[in-house]
Every structure is written in C-alpha cells, then in structure tokens.
Structure 1
Amino acid sequence: MSTANLPRSRSDLGFDIINYSLLTVILVIVSYPLLFAVSASFSDPMKVLAGKITLLPQGFRLDAYAKVLEHGQLWRGYLNSIVYTVIGVTVNLIMTTLAAYPLARRDLKGRGPLMLIFVFTMFFSGGLVPTYLVVKSLALDNTMWALILPTAINTYNLIVMRTFFQSTIPGELYEAAHVDGCTNIGMLYRIVLPLSMPILAVMFLFYTVEHWNSYFNAMIYLSDRDKFTLQLVLREILIQSQTAGMMSADAGATERLLQSETIKYAVIIAASLPVFVLYPFVQRFFVQGVMIGAVKG
C-alpha cells in the first residue's frame, strides 16, 4: 500500500497548517517591500510622501523611469557591470573550485591547518587602508581587476562547496578513478564537476548577486567615470536628483525634489531587475545545493 494513500493524522494536519501559515507570513514580509518599491516608482511623488501607497500605484506616472533612462551613463554602467560580473564570477568559480576540491580530499596532508588559514580571514582582515595600498601598489586601481582579484574567493562559499564535495562524492570513487589511471585534475574535470552542478549553480548565483550589488569597492578604486558600475551610476542619479531640488531656487525645484522620492524607488528596480531575471534559471539547483553543502559535513 502506498504511503500517499494512508490517512493523515491530526498532528500531521496541524503541522501542515502551522507550517503553511508561517511560510505565508514570511512570504508577505519578504515580498511587501519589493511590491511597495514597484508601486512607489510608478506613483505620484505627492502620494508617496503622503504615505498613500500600499500595493497599487497611486497617480500612475513614468517620470521617475524617464529621468533614470535619460542619464547618459546608465547604459554604459549596465555594460560595465555585466562585464565585471561575468569575468568576476568566472574567476570566483574557478578559484573557489580549485581551493575546495583539494580541501575536500581526505588524502591531502595538512588540510586542517590550511582550512584554518581560510577561516581566519572570515574574522580578521587587513582593513580598508592596507587593502587599498596593496591594490594601488599592484597598479590595479582604476581597473576592473581591483573589483575582482581581492574578492576572488569568498570563504563562506568555499566552506559550502568543500562540504558539498565531502558529503556527495565518496572517497571510493576517487580510489577507483586512481586505479584506472586518472590524475587529480582528471578526477576534478571528469568526476567532480559533472556531479556538482547543483552547488556550482548556487555559487554562480551567490557570486553574481555579490558582484552585481557591489558598489563600495568600485567607489573606492574607480576614478574614471567610463568604468563606473551600474550601482555607482544609479547612486549618482539619485544624488543629482536630490541636490538639484535642494540647491535650485526656481519654480521647478520643488517638483524635482519631490521627483527624487520616486526616482530612488526606480533606481532600486533598475538595479534589481537583472537578478530577478536570472534567478528562475538556477532556482531548481538552489535548494539542493544549499542543503547538501551547508547542513552535512
């Protein structure tokens, strides 16, 4: 008899009710700020300031998006962020995989002390000024490599990937491949990577979001406006819209100041849209990769 046909007990039904209720509350808490930002970006600034926005736009207007799109550097910033993200994620995946694979092998001598060195960097770093001096001494400032190389490996992602390798790929598989004459690089390429698509998809999403949302490093290391990331361009648009309204004394100053309220929400949507488009393609790997990589081991 199939377990699907067995009658459910009251405790099981009660658990399902409580579980779905809690998940619904969490969904509302997480979704409402995003829905509010979307509605506010299409609304009349006066309605936003008056607190009349709930879920639907009030006084539908596209002025905020028109102001964002007319900025000359916007598309350049989009292109720069895409290039930095693609190259950065490629470097991240390669470096993280090459570090996690040997640390997951039980036959690696000294892997415990090596892992401690990696973990140490999670709690203690060189600091902003020493890091900047290192980047500048290597002539990486005002280049995209200043945004990529210092963050080539995220220690938390390294631990998750190493745990995935340890819990998913048995040691006997390595031994069998070694008997067949496979090298360590061959094991990584022919055995480990094909079996690790879930965790690679998770790492891809984590690193993509990290690069796409990063603006602080770009603000510190980039001085050429043609190399600005999207986040810096959007920040510039927001600051310009606010200062233009405060510093001007003409009749349109108040309107520009009010418009800055909706522009900041349009900026949020413009920056978040690519991640929303990307997430559905890796969603099916996400839960499996995180649960196997973070719970076991």
Structure 2
Amino acid sequence: MLNERLANHSRSQIQQWIKEQCVSIDHKVIKANYKVSSGDKIIIEIPEPEELDLVPENLDLEIVYEDDDVAVVNKPQGMVVHPSAGHPNGTLVNGLLYQVKNLSTINDVVRPGIVHRIDKDTSGLLMVAKNDHAHESLAQQLKDKTSLRKYVALVHGEIPHEKGRIEAPIGRSKVNRKMQAVIEGGKPAVTHFEVLKRFEGFTLIELQLETGRTHQIRVHMQYIGYPVAGDPLYGPKKTLKGNGQFLHAKLLGFEHPTTDASMVFEAPLPEIFEKTLTTLQEKD
C-alpha cells in the first residue's frame, strides 16, 4: 500500500525527505539505513513544494516566428525549458516571459506556453502557445502525430544500412532513476532514422519521431548500439568533446491553430556541431 502511495515520487526525493527529517517511525525521526520491522508505523510529512518566482529575463532568445497565437523558438544548447527546483531561472520560460509576453495558461504556473520540451543539452526548435486555444490545438496535433519533428544527430559507430525504424517501449530505468530505458511494459515509442553521412567511427543521421517519450532518441540509439556522441548519460565515456549530446531539433511543422495553414520551420546546426562535422570530414 505504501509503495502505491509513493509511486509518483522518486527514490531520490524520498531520500531527501529523510535527510530533511520528514520521515519518522512511531514518531521518531529515522536515518536512511533504518531497517523497517513488521508493525512499524511509517509517517511521511511531505513538505510544501518550493514556490518558484517566475521572473522575466532578457535572454536574447532567437524567435524564429511569432504571431498572435504561436511562437517558434530556436533553443540554444545548455538551456533548460522551464523552471524547476534545480533551475529556478535562466530557462526558456524566463526568456519567453520577457520577449513574448502573452503565453497559454493550460500547463502549471512554471510552464506557461510550453507545449512540448527538448532536453537541456539538445538544441533546436520548439513551438510555443500564446493562448489556450492555440495550446489545445498544438497539443492535439502532437497527440494525433500530425505535427512534424525532425532531428539531426551524430552517433557513435558506422550504421551499415541507409534507413531504420526503432519500435521499443520506454520507461524509467530500474537501475538508474535519472535515466530512461527500453523496458517491458514501458510506453510505446517509435523513432525513424535515415543516414545522411558516414565518418570514421561515426554516422550523421536524420531522425523523425512518431512519439515523444523522455530522452527517446538518446535511449533508442543507445538501445540499437549507436549512442549519440557527446551524451553524458547514455553514451560512452570516450566521446567527442562538446557541450553535451550532438542532437539538434532542426525541423518543426504544424497546422496553424487559427488559420489552418501549414507551417514548417528549419534551424541550422549550432556552430560547435558544424565544426565537429568539419573536423571529422578532414580526418576521412
């Protein structure tokens, strides 16, 4: 019963509550190494969530497109999408509040306008909703798999075939709670890829998502034996130097929520990505 009640909380979160003396047995505060006995009455006083003060910040975001309903942003590598306890400021949302002003209110207060996310060290395009009608439309397109999302990645190894389809369920790793993994009973996940260029020891590929699971591309490419270069979580320790994984959301397409017009946007690779490809080309 206790496990069911705590299913939505991570092990690290519970360990933090123990450190903060929020967990007691028979009204006595315990340490993490306490061995539970039959009949123990475990009391967990879950602290109130930390309130984050959303402050508009001039982060000089690259707004690729904007109208009364939507905005398209080219997120730089290294930027978190929305505030959290570990990242209270300097996020994409902080920058949007300064530059875009009006944002949808459907998500919770720390994620205004955010319809979908990409990882902190993944660069590229994101669509942003400026009102709730637009948010509902864009979110439904993601759910219906009618929006277009294409990525470019540099992966370890030389993929021998030209195209591939990865269909493997993804869920939280049972070994490391910070990671996702291909697991039995995970959520359905499908990734398509096509080889763009091969280098000695590496392959440049284009990927298209059918689903949008957490870390999907990174997990799927590791699963088939070609992890994304520079990935500190799913890649090998000996990898290319950069600012994280060489993964870029280059193409974004959707139907405009008001005009129904087809909208397609493309963002060039970051400078460090281009320089790395040039270096690999020169070695061949």
User: Same-fold call, TM > 0.5?
Assistant: no
Higher relative contact order (CA 8 A, sep 6+): 1
TM-score tier (shorter): under 0.3
Pick the structure with more strand per residue: 2
- Normalising to structure 2: TM-score of the pair? 0.21
